[in-house]
Amino acid sequence: MTPANTPIALGADHAGVALKAAIREMLEAAGHPVADLGTHGTESVDYPDFGAAVASAVAEGRARFGVLICGTGIGISIAANRNPAIRCALVHDVTGARLTRQHNDANVIALGARMTGVEVALDAVRTFLSTPFEGGRHGRRIQKISPGWSAP
């Protein structure tokens, strides 16, 4: 379980601003320090900028986990995964959020504001943060997608 004082980085494009605000409110109410890396309005912006900002915050240790939102969650998750230290998973529900922590040790979650309702998204973020990595056979697999690994 993630302690309440664990820093979380948030980022969204214009399509995800409202959902990001709801997630930020939930995280702050739970005691998490939140680094809101934008955007803060509905004027069109480029999602890769916010995916990269959250990825950098997590990779550099300024946040333990990240939450990203765009219209579908697809583009922003691709942008975050350009950083080799990031394992960003696009999830649509609690099951995906749980399994990506248990099996993939994801450190960033992506949501689609046009795909997932607010309550489901809040439940998914809570589940993501409360689910530990299982390790075991999954650890071997994570090693194979980590920087520096090469096939034997």
> How far, in Å, CA of 137 to CA of 140, rounded?
5
> How far, in Å, CA of 87 to CA of 151, rounded?
19
| Token digits of residue 12 | 């969204």
**Cα Rg for the chain, rounded, in angstroms?**
14
> How far, in Å, CA of 109 to CA of 128, rounded?
8
Q: Is residue 70 annotated as a catalytic residue, yes or no?
A: yes
Residue from 14, 32, 40, 70 carrying the catalytic annotation: 70
Closest-CA residue to 23 (of 113, 107, 141)? 113
Q: Is residue 88 annotated as a catalytic residue, yes or no?
A: no
| Token digits of residue 142 | 């994570």
Residue from 32, 40, 92, 103 carrying the catalytic annotation: 103
> How far, in Å, CA of 13 to CA of 27, rounded?
19
Catalytic residue numbers read 70, 103
